[in-house]
Amino acid sequence: MAQFPHLFSPFTVGTVPLKNRIVMAPMVVGFASAEGRVTERMKAYYAARAAGGVGLVVTEATIVHARGLGIKNNHACYDDSYLPGLRELAQVIHDGGAKAFMQLCHAGRQTTSKLTGQTPVGPSAIPCPRWQEEPEALTKEGIREVVEVFADCVRRAREAGFDGVHIHGANGYLISEFSSPLTNRWSACTSTRCSVW
């Protein structure tokens, strides 16, 4: 492709070598089980995309804590029982010739206790306009716990064979809630970032 001379050339993200510069962005498709586990349908979906020739597949928003579930059938990784399915998912992506990153996400206030069974959390007790449920304002200890659950999921991604993680820090979810005065009275700046090992 003369218009895009570098598109099919190798590229490195951190220390992860990619066969080309085509990345499948994370898109929530809801193919996980009701408990957030990897299903055959999910594996087939990602296997097909990897086999299509992309250099990197970033899996859909993977929930780091049950309280952070944003939609039904959202993929999850918040305890070690998810590891067998995560290993299978990473393997089918690798078998298709692509590298695999896992996107990690916490919905923050953009959820409801009807879905999660728990009160949503956020930087401040400011309800999401869509769900109209007042979140519990995170304390410093609560923030430390959120950091720990993200770190635990990074460990699980690595143990499962993923090549890196992508932290979802946009779209009004928990991390981006900290960077907006609309959702955080004490505003702390952050953004979407990638981490590789």
Instruction: Specify the CATH number for the domain of residue 163.
Output: 3.20.20.70
In a domain, 2, yes or no: no
pLDDT, average across residues 40-45: 98
For 30-39, 132-141, 183-192, which range has the lowest pLDDT when averaged over its residues? 183-192
Tell me the pLDDT tens digit for each residue of 15-33.
Answer: 999 999 999 999 999 999 9
pLDDT at 55 over 90: yes
Rounded mean pLDDT of 132-158?
96
The whole-model pTM stands at 0.89
Whether the CB-CB separation of 63 and 77 falls below 8 Å is answered with yes
Half-sphere exposure of 137 (CA within 13 A, CB side): 9
Does residue 3 belong to any structural domain of this protein? no
Q: Are 114 and 108 in contact (CB under 8 A)?
A: no
Each residue's pLDDT tens digit, 102-125: 999 999 999 999 999 999 999 999
Confidence of residue 152 (pLDDT cuts 50, 70, 90): very high
pLDDT at 191 over 70: no
3-class DSSP assignment, residue 191: coil
pLDDT of residue 1: 56
Provide the number of structural domains found in the chain: 1
The string of DSSP letters for 131-151 reads T--PPEEP-HHHHHHHHHHHH
Residue 32 belongs to a domain: yes
Decide if 1 is inside a domain. no
In the prediction, which pLDDT does 78 show?
Answer: 96
Is the pLDDT at 172 greater than 60, yes or no?
yes
Kindly report the length of the chain: 197
Q: What stretches of the chain show up as alpha helix (H) in DSSP?
A: 40-51, 83-95, 113-116, 140-160, 174-177
Q: What percent of the chain clears pLDDT 90, i.e. is strictly above it? A: 83
In a domain, 99, yes or no: yes
- Residue 5, domain member (yes or no): no
- The rounded Cα 82 to chain-centroid distance in angstroms is 14
Is the pLDDT reported for residue 193 higher than 90? no
According to DSSP, the residues that pair with 64 across neighbouring strands are: none
Structure tokens at 4: 């895009």
* CA–CA gap between residue 166 and residue 60 (Å, rounded): 10
Domain of residue 85, residue span: 11-196
Among this protein's residues, is 78 annotated catalytic? no
Confidence of residue 190 (pLDDT cuts 50, 70, 90): very low
